Structure 1
Amino acid sequence: MYQSILVPVDGSSHAVKALQVAAQLAKGTSAILYLMTVAEFPPDNIGLFTGGVAEPYAEEEREKLAAGMKEEAHQAIDKARAAVELAGIEVKEVVRQGRPAELIVGVAEELGVDAIVMGSRGISDMRGMVFGSVSHRVSHTAGCTVITVT
């Protein structure tokens, strides 16, 4: 049925459920699961979020933040792997940095996957309610099958 499936994970319970579904789809086939996580870019100036002034980060501070965000992204993959039985399934990891919805669709195209299986909500539920969820944007822009798991 599916030869390759992209599973975006962010550390949320919905992402783990999506990986469980993807693993079931892949079991007994030769489908490859691509576990993907996105480390968003650090904000240009955190001062606005903390009630301070809009002081831009020094480059060194931005690099430290970016490294921390990438480490959190790798931890999200590790958490998902630990929660789901993946024995007998070929699993590859993809970590990117940027805007999640755009990168998920871009990586799906780049890898030529047959489907994206993702959680309906992620870590940033509140932000998703305000700005629109990543899963909503992916389902409307991806060129492949998108399975959204609640």
Structure 2
Amino acid sequence: MKFVQIFQQNRAYIEQIIDTMSDEQMLVMPAGFDNNIAWNLGHLIVVQQSLIYRLCGLPTLTRRAHVRLFSPGTSPADWQDTPDLAEVRRLLTETTAQTIADAAADRFQNYRPYTTTTSFDLPTFEDATAFNLYHEALHFGAIMALRNVIRAE
């Protein structure tokens, strides 16, 4: 599956960026932004697990707490407690590895069609993976912009 190579490379780039950042930097929400790097990471994980795993009827590596913190429409401004960033970093790596292994084992069957909150129709698994790559690229750009602003401050 071609999506796996792009997914793996994009996630590797994200890991390179966050490996250079402290937890404190990942929690900064600069003026003009409505989220932070930690939220973007958690959001990528939650959405990918939902689109790829949940819609294929497979168990996810995320918990309800992750969904409450990082789903579309949530914001770090609403967090009552700071998420465990070591766990978020670990989940980024684990979800990448698990997706690669599961794609190789052809586990992504029985996909249930879905329409996103932004009205993208995803009738097939291939459509879901293409949308996920698009979504991850958008948030990769947000992570880079946040990093640049944080470093400049």
Larger radius of gyration: 1
TM-score (norm 2): 0.29
TM-score (norm 1): 0.30
More strand by share: 1
